């Protein structure tokens, strides 16, 4: 295989569509910290550190995707047979090399994201790596354990990601970054299940008791619905309480827009929940990513403007 062909194969293995969200989340966290009280005076480091952090977040997610595909080989053989590993286009050895290499690059970049000499970002990334490992790797493999699978996705990709972004500018020793991280964590706690509905056959064969398998499609859809609304109600509440120090009225507007968006996605899921298990990528799955993008950009603007 040519060098260009191998690069394309590795890129496909990394699942590039999924890398933009964590990179944006990291950059958005840094932008939010810039505008948070007390507002940061201009410095090139306000660009350099969040940019490094965004690249780091993408690499960390690529590594996590690789680890998941290695340990989900039997499941993906049913659900995703065209992926590089399950189709036989990539060897298991190459998959491990890619995974370890991307983890190493992510850890190295995280170490260099150190405003004021603080290495908070690095330790947050270490914690995220540990939790990601618990999700995929036996004997823990929380992916098998219903709601614990959701928790071990929501904490690193929701809570810790936003706090790590904040750490690229300000210290995380305070309530505000963790409050913002909790908003995104609670959203992903339910929203991450949107990808499980269409994967029920392979997950069941692989012994993964996801929420749709445990409780059925309709009940699982109702169970995750609050995650599309409740976290975004916290935005105006946080602004009223003085926890969120961005532009007050922009935060109010962001909370209303995201709550309305979440109610719309709930309507799409609950009007015909049986379709969630039929369509490979139900519209609610796409809206989950779009909601993340809107919320990330919305927070950045609410703090920077």
Packing angle of the helix pair 283-304, 20-35 (nearest 10 deg): 20
Give the pLDDT confidence score for residue 172 in this predicted structure: 98
* Mean pLDDT, residues 237-253: 98
192 three-class SS: helix
In 3D, which of 137, 63, 72, 144 has the Cα closest to residue 96? Answer: 63
Query: Cα(42)–Cα(36) distance, rounded to whole angstroms?
Result: 13
Pinpoint the alpha helices (H) of the chain.
Answer: 3-14, 20-35, 45-71, 73-79, 92-112, 120-136, 147-154, 161-167, 175-191, 200-205, 211-215, 217-224, 230-240, 248-271, 283-304
Integer angstrom CA distances of residue 84 from 81, 87, 95, 260? 8, 5, 9, 39
The pLDDT score that the predictor gives to residue 2 is 67
Which of 63-77, 257-271, 276-290 bottoms out in mean pLDDT, i.e. has the lowest?
276-290
**Higher per-residue pLDDT: 273 or 281:** 273
Question: Bigger pLDDT: 59 or 2?
Answer: 59
- Asked if pLDDT for residue 280 goes beyond 70, the answer is no
Q: Is residue 67 part of a domain?
A: no
Average confidence score pLDDT of the chain = 93
Lowest pLDDT segment from 101-105, 182-186, 221-225: 221-225
Q: Is residue 111 part of a domain?
A: yes
How long a stretch of residues is the chain? 305
What value does the mean pLDDT take over residues 6-34? 94
172 within 8 A of 178, measured Cβ to Cβ = yes
HSE, side-chain direction, 13 A CA sphere, residue 210: 28
Is the C-alpha dihedral spanning 202, 138, 124, 189 positive or negative?
Answer: positive
Query: Do 29 and 164 form a contact (C-beta atoms < 8 A)?
Result: yes
Residue 279 has pLDDT above 60, yes or no: no
Q: Is residue 12 part of a domain?
A: no
- Ranking 110-119, 121-130, 186-195, 255-264 by mean pLDDT, the lowest is 186-195
Residue 226 covered by a domain: yes
User: How high is the pLDDT of residue 282?
Assistant: 64
Nearest in space to 177 (alpha carbons), one of 135, 108, 118: 118
Domain ranges, residue 191: 17-59+103-304
113 assigned to some structural domain: yes
Flag whether 86 is in a domain.
no
The reported pLDDT for the residue numbered 162 is 97
DSSP secondary structure of 84-100: TTTTTSS-HHHHHHHHH
Q: How many CB atoms lie within 10 A of CB 20?
A: 16
Which pLDDT score is estimated for 199?
Answer: 78
Q: Put residue 281 in one of left, alpha, beta given phi > 0 → left and psi -120 to 50 → alpha.
A: beta
- pTM of structure: 0.94
Residue 115: partners with Cβ closer than 8 Å, 6 or more residues away: 45, 49, 167, 168, 169, 170
Contact 251, 235 (CB under 8 A): yes
Helix (H, G, I), strand (E, B) or coil at 221: helix
HEC string of 137-174 equals: CCCCCHHHECHHHHHHHHHHHHHHHHHHHHHCCCCCCC
Question: Using 50, 70 and 90 to split pLDDT, how confident is the model at 168?
Answer: very high
Number of domains in the chain: 1
Q: Is residue 82 one of the residues assigned to a domain?
A: no
> Would the pLDDT of 164 be above 60?
yes
| Domain contains 92 | no
User: Cβ(165)–Cβ(25) under 8 Å?
Assistant: yes
């Amino acid at each position: 295989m040519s060098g260009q062909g191998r690069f394309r194969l590795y890129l496909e293995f990394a699942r590039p569509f999924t890398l933009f969200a964590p990179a944006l989340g990291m950059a958005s966290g840094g932008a939010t910290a810039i505008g948070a009280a007390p507002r940061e005076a201009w410095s090139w480091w306000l660009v350099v550190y969040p940019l490094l952090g965004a690249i780091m977040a993408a690499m960390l997610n690529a590594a996590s995707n690789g680890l998941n595909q290695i340990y989900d080989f039997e499941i993906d053989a049913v659900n995703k047979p065209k992926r590089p590993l399950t189709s036989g286009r990539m060897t298991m050895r190459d998959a491990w090399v890619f995974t370890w290499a991307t983890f190493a690059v992510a850890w190295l970049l995280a170490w260099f994201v150190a405003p004021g000499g603080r290495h908070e970002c690095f330790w947050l990334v270490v914690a995220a790596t540990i939790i990601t490992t618990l999700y995929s790797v036996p004997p823990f493999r929380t992916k098998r354990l219903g709601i614990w699978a959701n928790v071990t996705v929501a904490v690193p990709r929701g809570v810790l990601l936003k706090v790590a972004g904040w750490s690229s500018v300000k210290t995380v020793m305070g309530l505000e970054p963790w409050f913002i991280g909790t908003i995104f964590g609670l959203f992903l706690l339910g929203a991450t299940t949107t990808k499980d509905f269409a994967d029920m056959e392979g997950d069941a064969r692989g012994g993964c008791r996801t929420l749709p398998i445990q409780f059925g499609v309709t009940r699982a859809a109702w169970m995750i619905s609050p995650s599309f609304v409740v976290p975004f109600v916290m935005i105006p509440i946080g602004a009223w309480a003085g926890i969120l120090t961005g532009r007050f009225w922009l935060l109010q507007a962001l909370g209303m827009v995201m709550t309305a968006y979440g109610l719309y996605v709930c309507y799409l899921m609950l009007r015909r929940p049986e379709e969630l298990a039929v369509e490979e990528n139900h519209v609610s799955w796409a809206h989950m990513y779009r909601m993340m993008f809107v919320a990330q950009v919305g927070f950045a603007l609410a703090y920077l403007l």
